[in-house]
Structure 1
Amino acid sequence: MSAAVTKVSSNGEYSFTKPNRGSITLLAGLGVEGDVHAGVTVKHRSRIAQDPTRPNLRQVHLIHQELFDEVAVAGFEVGPGDLGENITTSGIDLLALPTGTVLRLGEEAVVEVTGLRNPCLQIDIFQDGLLKQVVGRDEAGGIVLKAGIMGIVRVGGVVRPGDTIAVEVPDGPHRPLERV
């Protein structure tokens, strides 16, 4: 199976979920056009409270469709946009990508992967118990964050469901993703 965009979502107002759209437009250095989290500096409320002048490394949020399938086995019903992501993907292990990976989405858009999404308590408000499904432990007891990845827009363009995703991993040594 090749990597593809399955859904795109955006919201101009602060809310946990984002409605699905027919397309979104990525703007270089800003994020998703019309999305509340677009901007050069941080736009997530928790980040603004810490330091509103910090660069926005969370311009675009991507989640793999396979996560929804995984949590469904545990009885949770989650779909594209429900966890606030802008782009839902399939056929790509987003969490295994190293920092700095470049994702070419469709014909024009380019997103550089900056890190992992830090799951927040709002996930349990959305569905009680879901947070434990998107935060796990590996064999060594280390924390595994599964709620998607974040990126910055290097080249703008329109992204639609069905668009292919080309992955360009940076030259090594690779840095594993950390929360941003």
Structure 2
Amino acid sequence: MSAVVAAVSRNEEYSFTKPNRESITLLAGLGVEGDVHAGVTVKHRSRVKADPTQPNLRQVHLIHEELFEEVAGAGFRVRPGDLGENVTTRGIDLLGLPVGTLLRIGDEAVVEVTGLRNPCAQIDGFRHGLLKQVVSRRDDGGLVRKAGIMGVVREGGVVRPGDVIRVELPAEPHRELDRV
């Protein structure tokens, strides 16, 4: 099975979920056209409060559709866009990618992976108890964050459901994803 885009979402307003769209347009260096989180500098409220001049390493949020199947086993119904992602994927181990991986999406768009989404308490506001499903602990006590990855747009283009995603790994040594 090849990696594909399952759904695309964006929202012009701050809200936890994002409505699905027929397509989204990625803009190099900015993010998703018309999305509240697009921009050169940080747009997430907690990051703006800490330092509004920091670079926006969270221009695009990608999440694997397989997570929705996993949490369904615990009784949670989650659909594309519900967790605020822009691109819902299928058939790719997003969480296993190293920092700097290039995701070539469709014919033109390229997203560089910057790190993991840090799940927050808003997830429990969406579905009480869901946060425990998307954050766990390894045997060594380290956190496992499963709520997707973040990236920056290197090359713009239109992205639609059904588009193929091609993975281009960075040169070794690979750096494991951490929260951004």
* Pairwise TM-score range, normalised by the shorter structure: over 0.9
State the 1:33 CA deviation.
Answer: 0.1
Match of 2:128 in 1: 128
- Match status 1:42 vs 2:59: no
* Structure 2 counterpart of 1:9: 9
**After the TM superposition, which residues 88-107 of structure 1 pair with which residues of structure 2 at under 5 Å, given as runs?**
88-107=88-107
1:25 match: 25
Distance 1:141 1:107 in 2: 41
Superimposed CA distance per residue, residues 113-158 of structure 1 (whole angstroms, 9 cap, x where no aligned partner): 0000000100000000000000011232211000000000000000
Q: More deviation in 132-141 or 158-167?
A: 132-141
Structure 1, unmatched stretches of 5+, are none
Residues in 2 aligned to 1:31 and 1:17: alpha-carbon distance in whole angstroms: 17
Superposed CA deviations along residues 2-29 of structure 1, whole A, max 9, x for unmatched, are 1000000000000000000000000000
Q: TM-score with structure 2 length normalisation?
A: 0.99
| CA distance in structure 2 between the aligned counterparts of 1:103 and 1:29, rounded to whole angstroms | 15
Structure 1 length-normalised TM: 0.99
CA distance in 1, matches of 2:159, 2:107: 8
Q: Which residue does 2:167 correspond to in 1?
A: 167
- RMSD over aligned CA atoms reads 0.5
Aligned positions, number: 180
SS at match of 1:110: strand
**Structure 2 unmatched ranges of 5 or more:** none
Structure 2 match to 1:78: 78
Identity over aligned pairs, percent: 77
Which runs of at least 4 in structure 1 moved beyond 3 Å after TM superposition? none
Quick one: which amino acid aligns to residue 15 of structure 2? Answer: S
